[in-house]
Structure 1
Amino acid sequence: RQVELLAPHISRSALTFSIALGVGLFVAVSFLRLILKLSYKWTMVVLYLLLTLLAIFADNFFLGIAFDAGGATTGPLTVPFILALGIGVAGVRKSETSEEDSFGFVGVSAIGPVAAVLVMGIVSRLSGNDPAASVVEGQVDAVYKFSQVFVETLLEVLQAIGPLALILIIFQLTILRQKRRQVIRMFEGLLYATIGLVLFLVGVNGAFMPVGSQIGALIGGSAQNWVLIPLGVFLGGVVVLAEPAVWVLTDQVKEVTGGAVKKSFILIFFSIGIALAVGLAMIRVIFRIHLAYFLIPGYLIALLLAFRSPPLFTTIAFDSGTVASGPMSSSFLLAFTLGASAASGGNPFTDAFGVVALIAMTPLISLQVLGLIYDRKKVIQKKGKEKRSTT
């Protein structure tokens, strides 16, 4: 929606289809990794090297959109479904690594949309088109009537849930054959999900997005635009707690680990990571720094930490990055950044798009650091027990 407002020449349906295809293909890759028993950390290294190659050849205009797409597409509908699939498959295998194998599916799946949009960028570059030439000047501050937003959102949610409902019906008729009570409960869940998503997204699209843009424009256009940095840090730390998928992930972590990994610790490190991400995004807006200067060292640190952090925390971290960048981040925080960029005279596509990418990146680092702390704490406790037993 935000890309369409700023660049009407980019087909919304083509972008949506490409992203959906990317998610589907990489969900399959995540299952293939589990079946072939491939190392998660090495899988991610190879996939991010692939993204790097695609980014080199893609049009720079699509870079921020691509990495934002990876975070924005894994929202409150996708995350619970993919997490549940992963936990189910890992549980059936019952291997020694089933605990860490339960996570990581969302992290792999999120690479698909990035790759898909980067391929669009390569096609655009080869065709000789200049996508920046038809960018609409100004900010994303369009205010719609709630009735208009409601109808559009309802159609979008039905379009998203419809295929899922169809797949569940096919599985019920062919494989599952659950009892009538379970089927009724399943469709009740789909109904609640539909109503909840419609109400949530109407509020997000009808209020949060225009308000975020206006606040960003007001501060970004002022002489004291440095205020964007501390305000961004504060908003990042708070808004992440409003992401529905964050709570789904923390509940799943608590369930799989039997409470060994505390929910409060994950939320604290989540907030620290997102606060840092939005602060960096505001620095980008003010000083107009290229997104690559943040993403390349950030992902290098994350991938290096993957070889030191406990495997469970690595898979949780790569899932958490995409979980944190849900509808609140991709609407309010992105609109806030776009408004600030436009008001300060910057180019929204090169200076503002990428905030969701940073939000998706920083939890990879912060939660793996939590894993190192957790691992160190276990070692100290073990040594303490051994010392007490000898005395």
Structure 2
Amino acid sequence: MPVLIQLVDTLWTTILDVAPILLILVLFQVLVLRQKVPHLRRMILGFIYVVLGLDLFLVGLEMALFPLGEIMARQLTDPAMVGAGDGGAAAGLAGLDWRDYLWVYAFAAAVGFSTTIAEPALIAVSLKVNEVSGGSVRAWGLRVAVAVGVAFGVSLGALRIVTGWPLPLLIVIGYGIVIVQTVFAPRQIIPLAYDSGGVTTSTVTVPLVTALGLGLATNIPGRSPLIDGFGLIALASLFPMITVMGYAQLGALLARRAARRQAREDS
């Protein structure tokens, strides 16, 4: 019964969230463009599917993935797991350094990579990019490049929580790398790389990464959930820009080498 109530409440919230988008599209179609809505029945059916899918998806996240992230963070920072001794809570954990939390970084990277690969927004963008580029930008290549960036960003964010490094410093360094890469990266990939950081912060990645950050900050001594628990999403949005431009730069470098090799063979 509680699950049914939660489904109904989330369904109503989802309808309220999606309805303004639908209303704006219909008003522009009818009042500005002065045309009938094409395939009206199919659009209504698609709207129903979207609402029901989001409802089930959001309830599933709340019931399963979000608690799972918190549980995993608590287990990975358990004194017995990180070698602080049996039940040696505060005193034992206080004597640890960043190298004792290697499994935390590995789990953070795995969560960042897997959630990004499954991110619906990224899947939609990668398929559209593959279509408009005529296949020159492969959908899977883009998804993996973005996922690697998110994995590195989330893992670095977990390291930041453990060590207490200031978040603004990491952000400044990261965007400094982005600026330098922008100068040298192929022009056609730069807008896509900048957008890739945004599509990662969607319905799958945000709940799990946020739960992981809060769980780590809660269980690591000397960390504040409010100050240290957040910030992983900022790093997860930053590093995909670096990896996507790096992916394009690597492809361009390999293409130039292949062209030079072919030119030598022809001569």
Give the alignment's TM-score, normalised by structure 1.
0.59
Q: Aligned-pair distance for 1:155?
A: 2.6
Report 1:1-391 matches (<5 A): 145-177=2-34, 182-223=39-80, 224=82, 226=101, 227-345=103-221, 346-384=223-261, 386-387=263-264, 391=267
For residues 285-315 of structure 1, the C-alpha deviation after alignment (integer angstroms, 9 at most, x for no partner) is: 2112221121110111112211111122111
Output the amino acid matched with 1:316: L
Task: Classify the secondary structure of the residue corresponding to 1:350.
Answer: coil
Mapped contact 1:290–1:351 kept (Cα < 8 A):
no
Q: Aligned-pair distance for 1:180?
A: 6.1
Q: For the structure 1 residues 188 and 177, does the alpha-carbon distance in structure 2 shift closer, same or farther, using more than 3 Å as the test?
A: farther
Q: Aligned-pair distance for 1:185?
A: 2.5
Q: Aligned-pair distance for 1:179?
A: 5.4
Output the amino acid matched with 2:62: N
- Higher relative contact order at CA 8 Å, sep ≥6: structure 1 or structure 2? 1
Mapped contact 1:338–1:348 kept (Cα < 8 A):
yes
Q: Aligned-pair distance for 1:153?
A: 2.1
For residues 153-210 of structure 1, the C-alpha deviation after alignment (integer angstroms, 9 at most, x for no partner) is: 2232112211111112212212445556522222222222111111111111222112
Mapped contact 1:290–1:350 kept (Cα < 8 A):
no
Mapped contact 1:291–1:354 kept (Cα < 8 A):
yes
State the alpha-carbon separation in 2 of the partners of residues 312 and 185 from structure 1. Answer: 35
Please tell me the root mean square deviation across aligned C-alpha atoms, in Å. 2.1
Give the alignment's TM-score, normalised by structure 2.
0.84
Output the amino acid matched with 1:292: P
State the alpha-carbon separation in 2 of the partners of residues 188 and 177 from structure 1. Answer: 23
Mapped contact 1:221–1:340 kept (Cα < 8 A):
no
Mapped contact 1:218–1:340 kept (Cα < 8 A):
no
For residues 82-102 of structure 1, the C-alpha deviation after alignment (integer angstroms, 9 at most, x for no partner) is: xxxxxxxxxxxxxxxxxxxxx
Q: Aligned-pair distance for 1:379?
A: 2.5
Q: For the structure 1 residues 320 and 375, does the alpha-carbon distance in structure 2 shift closer, same or farther, using more than 3 Å as the test?
A: same
Output the amino acid matched with 1:328: V
State the alpha-carbon separation in 2 of the partners of residues 387 and 165 from structure 1. Answer: 58
Larger radius of gyration: 2
Output the amino acid matched with 1:362: F
Mapped contact 1:251–1:263 kept (Cα < 8 A):
yes
Mapped contact 2:217–2:224 kept (Cα < 8 A):
yes
Match of 2:92 in 1: none
Task: Classify the secondary structure of the residue corresponding to 2:39.
Answer: helix
Task: Classify the secondary structure of the residue corresponding to 1:348.
Answer: coil
Count of residues in Structure 1 that have an aligned counterpart in Structure 2: 247
Structure 2: which 5+ residue stretches go unaligned? 83-99
